[in-house]
């Protein structure tokens, strides 16, 4: 696995999680937009809604998206494949998969309001 680039202080604040009833929050969940940039993917900007299920980028989604974008095995596993993301939330991982060359990407989520933000702008 390649070396992980050093994070900035701004990114580190996104790793601080606080337990709340039934979930957790981190300071980045209140930002209206989150931007991620990887050489293999480019910049992905995600609009976030109010803090809640499916409306903010979760730490786990950031970790998976980073793995896919930064690790050669991650991008190789995606290229040319059909990808289904169950519980897509904001769609970060599906967008990364599409940009890495997945032949098809299907985003699913049980939270209907999620789909107002989980889409690639046209």
Going along the chain from its start, the domains and CATH numbers come out as 9-116 (3.40.50.150)
Residue 20 is inside which H or E element, if any? strand 18-20
Residue 44 is inside which H or E element, if any? strand 42-47
Q: What is the pLDDT of residue 1?
A: 44
**Cβ pair 103, 80 in contact under 8 A:** yes
**Cβ pair 68, 97 in contact under 8 A:** yes
What 3-state class would DSSP assign to 9? helix
d(CA 8, CA 13): 9
pLDDT tens for 33-55 read 999 999 999 999 998 877 776 78
pLDDT tens for 2-34 read 444 444 444 567 767 776 666 777 788 888 899
Can you give the pTM of this predicted structure?
0.78
Q: Which of 121, 5, 7 is nearest to 69 (CA)?
A: 5
d(CA 98, CA 39): 15
């Amino acid at each position: 696995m390649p070396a992980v680039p050093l994070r900035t202080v701004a990114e580190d604040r996104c790793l601080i999680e606080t337990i709340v009833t039934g979930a957790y929050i981190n300071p980045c969940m209140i930002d209206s937009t989150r931007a991620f940039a990887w050489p293999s993917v480019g910049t992905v900007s995600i609009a976030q809604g109010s803090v809640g299920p499916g409306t903010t980028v979760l730490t786990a989604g950031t970790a998976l998206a980073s793995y896919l974008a930064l690790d050669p095995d991650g991008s190789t596993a995606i290229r040319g494949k059909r990808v289904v993301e169950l519980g897509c939330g904001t769609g970060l991982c599906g967008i990364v998969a599409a940009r890495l060359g997945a032949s098809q990407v299907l985003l699913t989520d049980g939270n209907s309001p999620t789909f107002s933000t989980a889409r690639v702008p046209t």
